[in-house]
Chains A and B, each alone.
Chain A
Amino acid sequence: MTMQGETEMAAKHLSSDRSAQRTDRSVQWEAVIGLEIHAQLATRSKIFSGASTAYGAEPNTQACAVDLGLPGVLPVLNEGAVRMAVKFGLAIGAEVARRSVFARKNYFYPDLPKGYQISQYELPIVRGGRVTIQLDGGGEKEIGVTRAHLEEDAGKSLHEDFHAMSGIDLNRAGTPLLEIVSEPDLRSPQEAVAYAKKIHTLVRYLEICDGNMQEGSFRVDANVSVRPAGSHAFGTRTEIKNLNSFRFLERALAHEIERQIEVLESGGAVVQETRLYDPDRNETRPMRTKEEANDYRYFPDPDLLPLVLEEAYIEAVRAELPELPDARRARFVSDYGLPAYDAGVLTASRELADYYEAVVAAVGGEPKLCANWVMVELGGALNRAGVEITASPVGPEALAGLLRRILDGTVSGRAAKEVFEAMWAGEGDADAIIEARGLRQISDAGAIEKLIDEVLAAHPQQLAQYRAGKDKLFGFFVGQVMKASGGKANPKQVNELLRRKLDAGG
């Protein structure tokens, strides 16, 4: 939720910038964007070895002989990683290859001890699929997924504090990755973010990736070019790396699109290169390129046989698929009568959707009231505290306990917010807080009538003016009654009883 809020703010900021810059252009430019997403698969062990993939261990304590590339070792494929890739393929309606092949991608870097990365090249495990994104102005768009392939991650290099040496931690080496490559179907930074978020939501629904962008479990690279609107040829593209949040993805693309347009409009040519995004300066700059950088000399890895998947295996994985986000969103609209917007927000993560459904079940209905509280009060509190829904100090049962007290008239909506804050602070359940703080709403008609009588008796002048036709004073009397009750009178009842009393007297 935090990320979403930030992205929306960034989007507003960007769209105003862009419209200001675009209007005086003679040529209308169109951006063409494709994303490569590396999702770390949530296996316990590595893709080709039995070393642990747990995050945050002491350096090199989870790097075994296979991960270190010691002589004589052989890779053995992890079935869990294969199953997760198949799940993803089925979820996007792709072809899951009955036969796929692992290849060596050759390059030299110290965090890649073998001198090659085991990846898939010509015959990936997942081929061709689609995801649907929701556009800002309403409407939907289908984005093609060219392929998704299995590969191993590299280690990490640390460049600081080693007296002119680099330190290498190979714990991450061999962690399974699913590289998800989109078609160049995206036409704006906003669409790119919507697509990346969609894939992020999907991999978390499927429980194949924890989606933690700070820890690098979900990494996005963007290929971007521009061309005159209406043209079908592609312009020269650049690749942007180092995009570890949705906000940076959006900003980096907006910046890079502007940069390319400026280059072209001043008569220059875009150079095909890899650029790094620098969030501190909000700019992209070229990586120092070595001319041979892209000569990877792929060839089939002789250490690994072709991966052959039986029909029965694929069907067994299909049977494990959970309800997917699009289906769940549609069900929230049809079953709970929620607006499409609410359904979209509530199904953005599986955990949030689960939470919401647990609240509705515990309340026993009232889905719109539940949606408002989950999205506004709870969502706001989570956002402010920077806490994930799964770590919410107020659980779904507890929130339902409060909503039941709103529904049965025990507390007003205003007092309920105070109760919620106290629940968030750990003061107990709703009933205990209502009692301890004396927030029970006065719904006893007799008590309210008594208050009304007292207020009318205390303000004879206003009463006379009201009866002479000054209707506006009705609000004054409501305010006085509420004040006399210490804010605890049920406002709806105050209105009804006051109206009856004044009208009867008049």
Chain B
Amino acid sequence: MSLGPDEVRRIAWLARVAIREEDIPDYARNLSRILELVEQMNAADTEGVEPLAHPLELPQRMRPDEVTEEDRRERYQAIAPLVERGLYLVPRVIE
């Protein structure tokens, strides 16, 4: 399977990565090679093999339902670009 320029643009958009037009052929070639690797793996017989969700053979640990965090808004907002009335301000997003 080989990716075309439109697919590269779409992947970049999904990842919110800015790419240069002249780099697209390189990306297309490299990403296609990754897909080829996946296709090779797809050829392996995995009948009866449970999908691996995590490389560690351990179960998730849990913590008790207790509030352990205190309000540190001032510290967190000190590094935010723009804040008003306790809210983080971002470029307008509206449906």
A contact residues vs B (CB 8 Å cutoff): 43-45, 49-52, 58-65, 68, 70, 76-82, 101-102, 106, 108-110, 122-123, 157-159, 162, 164-170, 276, 287-288, 292, 295, 297, 300, 302, 304-308
Partner pick for B92 among A65, A123, A159, CB 8 A cutoff: A159
Contact of B62 among A65, A82, A102, A292 (CB under 8 A): A82
A123 CA / B14 CA spacing, docked (Å): 25
CA distance A292 to B58 in the complex (A): 35
Q: Is B59 located at the chain interface by the 8 A CB criterion?
A: yes
A306-B87 contact, Cβ under 8 Å, with A44-B65, A82-B62, A166-B94: no
* CB–CB A157/B68 < 8 A: no
Stretch of B25-33, B35-43, B71-79 on the interface side: B71-79
Nearest A residue to B59 via CB reads: A308
Residues of B within 8 A of A81 (CB): 65
Interface residue ranges, B against A (CB under 8 Å):
10, 13-14, 16, 51, 53-54, 56, 58-69, 71-73, 76-77, 82, 84-95
CB distance from A452 to the nearest CB of B (A): 70
Residues of A with C-beta under 8 A to B67: 44-45, 50-52
Question: Which residue in A102, A166, A308 is a CB contact (below 8 Å) of B90?
Answer: A166
Taking a contact as CB atoms under 8 Å apart, the answer to whether B14 and A306 are in contact is no
Q: How far is the CA of A271 from the CA of B80 in the complex (A)?
A: 41
Residue of B nearest to A276 (CB): B95
Could you tell me the distance in whole angstroms from the C-beta of B46 to the nearest C-beta in chain A? 15
- How far is it, in angstroms, between the C-alpha of A458 and the C-alpha of B63 when the chains are bound? 85
30 pairs from A and B in contact (CB 8 Å cutoff): A43-B65, A45-B65, A50-B69, A52-B67, A58-B86, A60-B86, A61-B71, A61-B86, A62-B69, A68-B76, A70-B76, A77-B60, A79-B62, A79-B65, A123-B53, A159-B93, A162-B87, A166-B89, A166-B93, A166-B94, A167-B89, A276-B95, A300-B54, A302-B54, A305-B54, A305-B59, A305-B60, A306-B59, A306-B60, A308-B59
Chain A residues with Cβ below 8 Å from B60 are 77, 102, 304-308
Cross-chain contact B69 with A49 (CB below 8 angstroms): yes
Contacts of A302 in B (CB 8 A): 54
Inter-subunit contact A78/B87 (CB<8 Å): no
Interface SS, B side? loop
Give chain A residues whose Cβ lies under 8 Å from the Cβ of B58.
305
Given known A-B contacts A61-B73, A79-B65, A307-B60, A168 and B54 have beta carbons under 8 A apart: no
Smallest CB–CB gap between A157 and chain B, Å? 6
Which chain B residue shows the least CB distance to A157? Answer: B93
Tell me how far the C-beta of A291 lies from the nearest C-beta in chain B, rounded to whole angstroms.
Answer: 9
Residues of B within 8 Å of A122, CB to CB, are 51
Are B91's CB and A162's CB within 8 A? no
Q: Are B64 and A79 in contact (CB under 8 A)?
A: yes
B18 CB to nearest chain A CB (Å): 14
- How close is B6's CB to chain A, nearest CB, in angstroms? 12
Given the complex, which residues of B lie within 8 Å of A308, measured CB to CB?
Answer: 59-60
In the complex where A61-B71, A300-B53 touch, is A167 in contact with B62 (Cβ < 8 A)?
no
Q: Are B62 and A78 in contact (CB under 8 A)?
A: yes
Do the beta carbons of B65 and A78 come within 8 Å of each other?
yes
**Interface contact A295-B14, CB-CB below 8 Å:** yes
Q: Which residues of B contact A76 (CB under 8 A)?
A: 61-63
Nearest A residue to B63 by beta-carbon distance? A76
Q: What 10 A-B pairs come out closest when comparing CB atoms?
A: A80-B65, A50-B68, A167-B87, A308-B59, A59-B86, A79-B62, A64-B69, A305-B60, A101-B53, A61-B71
Q: Evaluate contact between A45 and B66: CB separation under 8 angstroms.
A: yes
Residues on A with C-beta less than 8 A from B16 are 108
B51: which A residues are within 8 A, CB to CB?
Answer: 122
> Contact: B59 with A110, CB < 8 Å?
no
Residues in A with CB closer than 8 Å to B69 are 45, 49-52, 62, 64
**B95: which of A61, A82, A168, A288 is its contact (CB, 8 Å)?**
A288
Q: Which residues of A contact B92 (CB under 8 A)?
A: 159, 162, 164-166
A44 to B65, CA, bound (A): 6
Shortest C-beta distance, A278 to chain B (Å), equals 12
From B10, B54, B65, B71, name the one whose CB has the most chain A CB atoms within 10 angstroms: B65
Q: Kindly state the separation between the CA atoms of A169 and B65 in the bound complex, as whole angstroms.
A: 23
Please name 17 further chain A to chain B contacts, defined as beta carbons within 8 Å, in addition to the given A79-B65, A167-B84, sorted by A numbering: A45-B65, A58-B86, A62-B69, A63-B76, A68-B76, A77-B61, A122-B51, A159-B93, A165-B90, A166-B93, A166-B94, A167-B87, A168-B89, A169-B86, A292-B10, A305-B54, A307-B60
B71 near A62 with CB under 8 A, answer yes
Closest to A287 in B: B95
Residue of A nearest to B51 (CB): A122
A-side contacts of B90, CB under 8 Å: 110, 165-166, 168
Give CA–CA (A59, B88) in the complex, Å: 9
**Which residue on A lies nearest to B55, using beta carbons?**
A302
Q: How far does the alpha carbon of A68 sit from the alpha carbon of B88 in the complex, in Å?
A: 11
